[in-house]
Amino acid sequence: MTRCIDMYKTTTMIVGLTAALLCNTVVLSAEVGASDSESGGRVTMKYDVDDSEVDTMSSFHASSACAVHVVPTSDARQNKETIGQFVSGALLVDDIGPWMTEGLGHLKDFGYTVSAASANAPPAADGVTIRTSVTRAYTWQIGMKLFSMVAVKVEFDDHNGVLQQKYYRSHGDKTNMWGAKAEYVDTLNYALNNLLPFVARDLQSLCKGERVDSYTYAGPDGLPKASDEAK
């Protein structure tokens, strides 16, 4: 009889320990899940020249070829971790400098000879060197529309040194077709591609050593038409 009681106690103890272990496992899983839910996941900042308004990338063409040397972009955003908010949390990104640098490489589409330059390179003997810092890059959603804003500080150097510093701000928008996280990056591509024609236009003057306006806004409407500028 005593032996049966001891076996019962042992069995009860094992069951109790197993239940406690399972309980701790559930609690631990819940804690991990809660931590994960604070983020909407990490997205890749992939540049795509096709994420642009119709005719944006052909809206300007340099009348004279000019060498453009692009230094890798610096990510100078105050918040370097996110680009916006998804349903499940913040959209996390890594350094977005390479994304901007790749986009600037498409100044070649406007008739410039584009090459890469190192950050510590001396002023090039020909053309203009572009040094950029991204100060803002974020997205937001209203209804079915996604919006984005990109702000950039640019330093233009010629063979004499710093020719001019300038600030650009651009925005883009698109319909949220699939509810996918990648569409937020697509929207930022729209903003960057809206910016490029304005930089291309400024380079026509900068390549001649002439200064341009210190600030430019670039929106989905693109470069102003000649008729609009005449008004």
**CATH classification at residue 222:** 3.40.50.10610
Low-confidence ranges of the chain (pLDDT < 50): 1-37, 227, 230-231
Asked if 21 and 43 sit in the same domain, the reply is no
For residues 191 and 186, what is the distance between their CA atoms, to the nearest angstrom? 9
pLDDT at residue 160 in the model? 93
Q: Which residues contact 121 (CB under 8 A, 6 or more apart)?
A: 69, 71, 129
Q: What is the pLDDT of residue 100?
A: 98
Provide the pLDDT for residue 134: 98
For the chain, state the CA radius of gyration: 27
Task: Tell me, yes or no, whether 98 and 190 share the same domain.
Answer: yes
Q: Answer yes or no: do 9 and 87 share one domain.
A: no
Domain identity same for 25 and 138: no
- 158 contact partners, CB below 8 Å, separation of at least 6: 123, 124, 127, 128, 129, 206, 209
Assigned token pair, 176? 């949220």
Q: Is 85 found in the same domain as 174?
A: yes
pLDDT tens readout for residues 122-172: 889 999 999 999 999 999 999 999 999 999 999 999 999 999 999 999 999
Q: Residue 14 has what pLDDT?
A: 38
Residues 66 and 178 in one domain: yes
Distance, in Å, from the CA atom of 164 to the CA atom of 208, rounded to the nearest integer, reads 12
* The amino acid at 204: Q
Residue 77 has a pLDDT of 97
Residue 6's domain spans which residues?
1-36
18 plus 88 within the same structural domain = no
Q: Dump the DSSP string for 49-100.
A: TTSS-TTGGGS---SS--EEEEPPPEE--S--SEEEEETTEEEE----HHHH
Token pair listed for 62: 């340099």
Handedness of CA 201, 207, 213, 216 (dihedral sign): positive
Same domain, 106 and 142: yes
What's the pLDDT score for residue 226? 58
The predicted structure's pLDDT at residue 228: 53
- 173 and 196, same domain (yes or no): yes
Residues 6+ apart with CB under 8 A from 89: 37, 38, 39, 40, 41
Domain count, the chain: 2
The per-residue pLDDT for 15 is 36
pLDDT at position 11, please?
39
What local confidence, expressed as pLDDT, does residue 79 receive? Answer: 94
Helical (H) or strand (E) element with 202: helix 182-206
Give the predicted TM-score (pTM) of the model.
Answer: 0.81
